[in-house]
Amino acid sequence: MKGKTVLVTGATDGIGKATALQLAGLGARVIVHGRSADRIQRVVGEISEAKGIPAEGLQADFSSIACVRDCGAEILKRFSRLDVLVHNAGVFEADRRLTVDGFESTFAVNHLAPFLLTHAVLDLLRQSAPARIVLVSSITHVNSACDFNNLQGEKSYDGRKAYSLSKLANALFTVELAQRLRGSGITVNCLHPGVIATKLLRAGFGNMSAASTARGAETSVYLSSSQEVEGVSGKYFVNRQEADPSPLVHNVAFRSRLWQLTELYVGIPAGHYGEANGRPS
């Protein structure tokens, strides 16, 4: 990974922090994203001290569409290349909570933010190709239903179902984006990190027997760095092995409908995903 620049979102604790540390250990220049400036600096310092490689910090609140847009603009301003984008940031909300933009928080942070940030930096990834996009989904997506009339929990809300839906959206986005980027030199894959001892797990599912965050980072690191998956795209992985995703992932019309709705939600004109400012460049 020497000479590679990698952005890990949600990298100030848990699986994201472990992912950042492991990728830095492989020689990558890591960009640490988080919401708290203090926590970002602590992780940046820890990486620099432990791995002997300077790291960078990137602060943004992914519950805000404007902040995600600003984050994308800052990346383009500060960095001349981006080889790997790891979408790790995620939340679990036991009770329905709306963002400043009026979206259900889990759906906004876990799906809308990765969709919009990828759009914002896609040209930079193209310029850096071969490049990789990695999304941390969850095995819970496999049994998730998707009611397009209740994406925001408008009719009813259950925290676990909302989380699973957001992870299904990650898997649908992975496959649809991989199809759209064929021949670009950019691969897109998603994964289940395992049942890992994180704050999110405890918040959503209580105290369970769980593996370490270092173990939870292994598949993210594998998909970010391994030559074994060079050129592999549009797949779902568990324990560094390709696995079967939800059958909904293979439904082209279903994927397309979610894509179109998401473009509408985040303000990207139809047909202009990945273009500068959402318009032809």
Q: What is the dihedral of CA 234, 167, 21, 133, to 10 degrees?
A: 30
Residue corresponding to tokens 């943004």: 60
pLDDT, residue 194, reads: 75
* CATH number assigned to the domain comprising residue 193: 3.40.50.720
Name residues of the chain where pLDDT drops below 70: 196-211, 276-281
pLDDT, residue 204, reads: 44
pLDDT, residue 122, reads: 98
pLDDT, residue 267, reads: 98
Torsional sign, CA 160, 202, 93, 140:
negative
Position 269: which residue type? P
Q: Which residues span the domain enclosing 64?
A: 5-278
Rounded to whole angstroms, how far apart are CA atoms 65 and 58?
16
Q: How many structural domains compose the chain? A: 1
pLDDT, residue 209, reads: 44
pLDDT, residue 213, reads: 84
DSSP for residue 155: S
pLDDT, residue 211, reads: 58
Q: Among all residues, which ones are annotated catalytic?
A: 163
Write out pLDDT tens, residues 10-53.
Answer: 999 999 999 999 999 999 999 999 999 999 999 999 999 988 88
